[in-house]
Amino acid sequence: HMPACIIHCVRVQLSSVIQVLSVLLLALVLLTVDVSVFRVLDVVSKHTHTTFNVTSKTSVDIKVGGTSMMARLLRRTFSAFNTSSRVRIVSDNQRCVTTPSSLAASAYISVACCLLLAALFSCLQVYANRLRRVIAAFYHPRREKTRILFLYNLSLHRRMLYRPTCNQQARTNVRKGTQNSARRNRLLTKGCSIVCVCVCVCPQVMEYLSRLCRRRREASRSEVQSV
């Protein structure tokens, strides 16, 4: 049977360990999601780069035939519209598809350090809680003396209450031991009587046992002579 204070300390320790494990699991999930998203965006940025190349050539040539004055006038008028142009446009989607950036190694190191500190503090929490009594005893020695006397009297009272139960348990154990020894003696007597009856009823068993003993003696003698 564990004391109540130890049970309370164990519960506090388990709760702190569960909290640290939950934070660790959450950090692992978030880091895994971040790495997977970075990989996906990296693949997308590499395979979606597109370049547009547009080339065009335009030529306008208006010809007016004839030798009259009207033809010459129109020829001079429309000669201003005779143009020739060439267009070449090159464009890509590099600005739309940005290159993803992964987390730095310092971020992973900081997360690992925080988790280690949380685990360390959870392990040292029990010892830190015990320091409260030391601090209280330093500032309130009379109260600490009263507390020690109360705990001492409580332990004596529990011992006095526990002594009759121990005596009763010892008596029951002695009774069970005597009963078990009596049962063993009965079984042994029954076994001996059964063996005697078998020997008396079946004399061949006695002859077989004597032959077996003789063979063992002869085998041991032969081994000694060979040595």
Quick: pLDDT tens for 22-79.
999 999 999 999 999 989 888 887 877 778 787 878 777 777 777 777 777 877 777 7
Q: How far is CA 6 from the centre of its chain?
A: 25
What whole-number percentage of the chain has pLDDT above 70? Answer: 76
| 8 A C-beta contact, residue 88 and residue 55 | yes
Given this model, what pLDDT does residue 210 score? 65
Given this model, what pLDDT does residue 224 score? 47
Q: In the beta sheet, which residues pair with residue 58?
A: 85
Whole-angstrom Cα distance, residue 198 to residue 206? Answer: 9
197 pLDDT band (50/70/90 cuts)? very low
- Radius of gyration for the alpha carbons in the chain, expressed in angstroms and rounded: 52
Given this model, what pLDDT does residue 134 score? 82
Whole-angstrom Cα distance, residue 71 to residue 121? Answer: 102
pTM exceeds 0.95, yes or no = no
- Give me the DSSP letters along 117-159: HHHHHHHHHHHHHHHHHHHHHHH-HHHHHHHHHHHHHHHHHHH
Spans of all domains in the chain: 1-48+106-139, 51-91, 141-191
Average pLDDT over residues 92-117: 84
Residues 6+ apart with CB under 8 A from 12: 125, 126, 129
- Residue 79's H or E segment, with its range, is none
Encoding tokens for residue 32?
């895994």
Quick: pLDDT tens for 138-191.
888 888 888 888 888 888 887 787 777 777 777 777 777 666 666 555 544 544
Whole-angstrom Cα distance, residue 74 to residue 66? Answer: 10
